Chains A and B, each alone.
Chain A
Amino acid sequence: MGSIVLVVRLALADVRRHPSQVAMLLFAVTTATATLALGLSLGGTSRTLYEQTRAATAGPDVVALVGDSGPAVTAAMTELADDPDVVAHHGPYRIAYTDLTTRDAKASPVVVHGFAETPGALNRPLVTSGQWVRPGGTVIERGFATALGVGVGDRVTIAGRPYPVVGIAVTAATSVYPWAAQIGPGGGASDYTGLAWMTRSDTRDLASSHDLSVTTALDLKLRDPAATEAFREAHRGSGLRVNFHSWQFKAEQDAVILRGTQPILVLGSWLLSFLAIAGVAALAAGRAVRQTRRAGLLKAVGATPGLIAAVLLTEYLAVALLADVLGLVIARLTVPVIASPTASRIGDIGGPTGAVIATTTVLAVAVAVLSALRPTLRALRTATVAALADTAHQPRRRPWLTALSAMLPTPFLLGLRLTARRPGRMVLQACSTATTLIALTGLLSLSTDTSRGYGLNGSTALPNLRAENSGHLLIAVSALLITLAVVNIIAFTWTTAMEARPSLAIARALGATPGQVSAGLSIAQLLPCLPGAVIGIPLGIGVFSAISPRNAVLAPFSSMLLAALATLLVTAALTALPAHLAARRPVVPVLSTDAA
């Protein structure tokens, strides 16, 4: 018990002494776990929402569609309805293909379903506002209505004729907006299309007066809802070409709108995790000397290696686990917005699953342990006397770099020698810059992306929700990556300055000006960024190509080169302040080990 109290007390004291480091660890791990939880949670959300909507709207197991109308079609539909595997049916009903225009001139292809004024037992759209169809009025599917920006009481023009919107509803009989058409006119391909309902007579009048293409649809409920494929196979090859859309197919098509989203989140979470480890490890390394001395003190008073490891790791683990909880809460609050960009579905997604919680917790613990492992092991391995005397860690010697730097101007001499002291950190810094370039490549390519809009003839008056959703997430993840990279640059610079404080104080005493020291510190950060920027561009191209649709357009190479240059300039600017502050710290306290 006493050991636990000691560990907690020491960890709390350390948290109070280093609030900025705790804040950085908290921020870094929270963003990483929230992004990962979001990415992993999206996997089943489309299906969950579809199933809840299907239950609430008595969604059919199969929708049979024929791109025509007439007695032969009616006979074929009647034959399907009479199949012994069918326990209930709705229809046949007309689907008319036309255009819809709102008062503010947003125009879109629309399919109008002709429904009874009193909904039946199967395919009973759920009215979420207003009322169900009545003569002369139309009900708009909720995802479509949201995209159009129309509500109950507005007027829309369908096939040139004005209709009041009397209700907004959702259904599981079609896929989410903009895939409401199911099949195109004559059974052919369909464009992005919204859904509206009218009374049967209004739909018939609309179709006949404007000579609109019509599809005949029949909703079926099977004895075995899972046996949709068998039902389709059993009715293949009859005289008419009948398209069967099963509920499983619709559930899968719903997920298409999130297809670009999940890779962005999962890949983004790994990159954020890497940056978190790099930044926190840099700060931990900056404290390594003090931690080693602390371990020496604990050893001197009889602490076991296990207790010392617990003291050194507890702070990181506690903060990382707190960040994990925060990340999961953020994911829980955000996932409904991301998982349902169309508003075509209803229901509750629920909290993160046990598997998601376990994965994010492993990630948080991994970040904490990997960040603190090296300083902890060094503290444990260092002999007590050496730890107390602060002589435990010698920087690496690179004779050829020292000789090379002797031929350079003073800021480069100092910068190159500072870089050579910590090759591991140099690699982390290069990777951090490469990660920034990956994010920037994605953002630049996003700005050149010209996805076909959902409006009439591909007009972007109605934006492409799939591209927009992915784009928003790419911007959010990139912003987090760049923020973390910026924090890392400052942390790297400050840690380098703190570690090199004795050497820089000596250089100052020997005549290096504060400006030369400051420039040297900035150069020490910039040197590893150069290879990072060089490898970041091809990596960014690879990552963007991997997570984007085939028709995605990459940003011009010249833009990427400009981004790399801008990254280096921003890095130089960001290092300037901590380098300036570090270079102007008084040197006497460092040099006066025994002040007289």
Chain B
Amino acid sequence: MNEPSAVVQVRDLVKEHGQGESRVRAVDEVDLDVPEGQMLAVMGPSGCGKSTLLHLMGGLERPSGGEVWLAGQRIDHLSERALARMRRRSVGFIFQAFHLVEELSAAENVELPALLAGRSARHARRRAGVLLERVGLSARARHLPSQLSGGQRQRVAIARALANEPLVILADEPTGNLDSTATIEVLRIFEELRSAGQTLVIVTHDERVAATSDRLVSMRDGMFVDDTRLAGAHPRGLGGLIGLEG
């Protein structure tokens, strides 16, 4: 059986912060291939370079050295404009702090990427309706982020990340601000996405998130120290992860 083609590839990736003696290597000559449909978890202590790696893969930051490839296209040397177009077409971001636009309703937040991609208002509205239903928030479509719980906000953020049917979803500590119940809700959605063949890269501190992944990469001081293929979803399901048999 052939190995699925890599959606994301990084080669000798380096990211340095600061100058002179205060220069720090946040990412230190990292190589990584993320095949299509894989759910990859990146773990490591705070400050080890996990989020920086995610930002480099999504074109939010430029590397100091090395290469980043997305769907066969090298992106590390693209202009800001080209990177923006690449992000709207191929990448969906999920952040720990949700980063929803506070004055927009849940539905309007989910519509935003489609509108930025030049889709019609009708298409964006219809797509937002489908996605909010998928994350179980149809009834909350008109609510503002401030009227939603943390878990609901993160589910809106996931719906927003899916708006343009991205090749890869990059999630930075998606459960970092959530309680256990909300974490389970989010993990359930991730599992559904994984089952549907969505490629996901998740930076996390949470063992439960890592346990549901296909692969776990551990980072320390900007380097990969371990790369483990997992069996996929926890054998006893999400309930088993928190001691509740599902």
The CA-CA distance from A56 to B124 in the complex, in Å, is 85
Contact A596-B103, Cβ < 8 Å, known A402-B108, A410-B116, A513-B81: no
Q: Does A394 have its Cβ within 8 Å of any Cβ on chain B?
A: yes
Stretch at the interface among A252-260, A441-449, A586-594: A586-594
8 Å CB interface, B203-222 against A: 203, 205
Query: Which has the most chain B C-beta neighbours within 10 Å: A394, A420, A506, A507?
Result: A506
Asked whether A502 lies within 8 Å of B99 as measured between CB atoms, the reply is yes
Please encode chain B, from 113 to 127, with 1 for each CB lying within 8 Å of some chain A CB and 0 for all others.
101111011001100
Residues of B within 8 A of A398 (CB): 103
The CA-CA distance from A503 to B117 in the complex, in Å, is 17
Asked whether A410 lies within 8 Å of B203 as measured between CB atoms, the reply is no
Asked whether A515 lies within 8 Å of B176 as measured between CB atoms, the reply is no
Min CB gap B96→A, angstroms? 5
Asked whether A406 lies within 8 Å of B116 as measured between CB atoms, the reply is no
Asked whether B115 lies within 8 Å of A413 as measured between CB atoms, the reply is yes
Residues of B within 8 A of A402 (CB): 103-104, 108
Q: Does B172 have its Cβ within 8 Å of any Cβ on chain A?
A: yes
Interface size on A, residues (CB 8 A): 40
The CA-CA distance from A510 to B85 in the complex, in Å, is 9
Min CB gap A484→B, angstroms? 30
Asked whether B85 lies within 8 Å of A506 as measured between CB atoms, the reply is no
Residues of A within 8 A of B85 (CB): 511, 513
Residues of A within 8 A of B58 (CB): 509
Query: Which has the most chain A C-beta neighbours within 10 Å: B89, B96, B118, B124?
Result: B96
Q: Does A290 have its Cβ within 8 Å of any Cβ on chain B?
A: no
Min CB gap A524→B, angstroms? 14
Closest-by-CB residue of A relative to B160 is: A510
Min CB gap B97→A, angstroms? 4
Asked whether A596 lies within 8 Å of B108 as measured between CB atoms, the reply is no
Q: Does A44 have its Cβ within 8 Å of any Cβ on chain B?
A: no
Asked whether B97 lies within 8 Å of A593 as measured between CB atoms, the reply is yes
The CA-CA distance from A512 to B86 in the complex, in Å, is 10
Closest-by-CB residue of B relative to A395 is: B103
Asked whether A510 lies within 8 Å of B112 as measured between CB atoms, the reply is yes
Q: Does B224 have its Cβ within 8 Å of any Cβ on chain A?
A: no
Q: Does A161 have its Cβ within 8 Å of any Cβ on chain B?
A: no
Asked whether B93 lies within 8 Å of A510 as measured between CB atoms, the reply is yes
Residues of A within 8 A of B105 (CB): 397, 399
Query: Which has the most chain A C-beta neighbours within 10 Å: B52, B84, B121?
Result: B84
Min CB gap A267→B, angstroms? 39
8 Å CB interface, A384-411 against B: 394-399, 402-403, 406-407, 409-410
Q: Does A106 have its Cβ within 8 Å of any Cβ on chain B?
A: no
Q: Does B73 have its Cβ within 8 Å of any Cβ on chain A?
A: no
Asked whether B44 lies within 8 Å of A508 as measured between CB atoms, the reply is no
The CA-CA distance from A384 to B20 in the complex, in Å, is 40
Asked whether A503 lies within 8 Å of B101 as measured between CB atoms, the reply is yes
Residues of B within 8 A of A510 (CB): 87-88, 93, 112-113, 116, 160
Asked whether B113 lies within 8 Å of A594 as measured between CB atoms, the reply is no
Q: Does B33 have its Cβ within 8 Å of any Cβ on chain A?
A: no
Min CB gap B17→A, angstroms? 10
8 Å CB interface, B146-172 against A: 146, 160, 164, 172
Asked whether A511 lies within 8 Å of B88 as measured between CB atoms, the reply is yes
The CA-CA distance from A410 to B115 in the complex, in Å, is 7
Asked whether A506 lies within 8 Å of B101 as measured between CB atoms, the reply is yes
Q: Does B240 have its Cβ within 8 Å of any Cβ on chain A?
A: no
Asked whether A396 lies within 8 Å of B61 as measured between CB atoms, the reply is no
Min CB gap B156→A, angstroms? 12
Residues of A within 8 A of B95 (CB): 591, 593
Residues of A within 8 A of B108 (CB): 402, 406
Residues of A within 8 A of B46 (CB): 596
Min CB gap A568→B, angstroms? 26
Residues of B within 8 A of A513 (CB): 80-81, 84-85
- Give the contacting residue for A406; candidates B89, B124, B146; CB below 8 A: B124
6 tightest A-B contacts by CB?
A511-B88, A596-B51, A596-B50, A513-B84, A406-B121, A593-B97
Residues of B within 8 A of A (CB): 44, 46-52, 55, 58, 60-61, 80-81, 84-85, 87-89, 93, 95-97, 99-105, 108, 111-113, 115-118, 120-121, 124-125, 144, 146, 160, 164, 172-173, 176, 203, 205
Residues of A within 8 A of B (CB): 394-399, 402-403, 406-407, 409-410, 413, 417, 420-421, 502-503, 505-516, 584, 586-588, 591-596
15 A-B pairs besides A591-B97, A595-B52 with CB distance below 8 A are: A399-B105, A402-B108, A503-B101, A505-B99, A509-B99, A510-B93, A510-B113, A511-B84, A512-B84, A512-B116, A591-B60, A594-B176, A596-B46, A596-B51, A596-B203
- 25 CB < 8 A contacts A-B: A394-B102, A394-B103, A394-B146, A395-B102, A397-B104, A399-B105, A402-B103, A402-B108, A506-B100, A506-B101, A509-B87, A510-B87, A510-B112, A510-B116, A511-B84, A511-B87, A511-B88, A588-B61, A591-B60, A592-B55, A595-B52, A596-B47, A596-B49, A596-B172, A596-B205
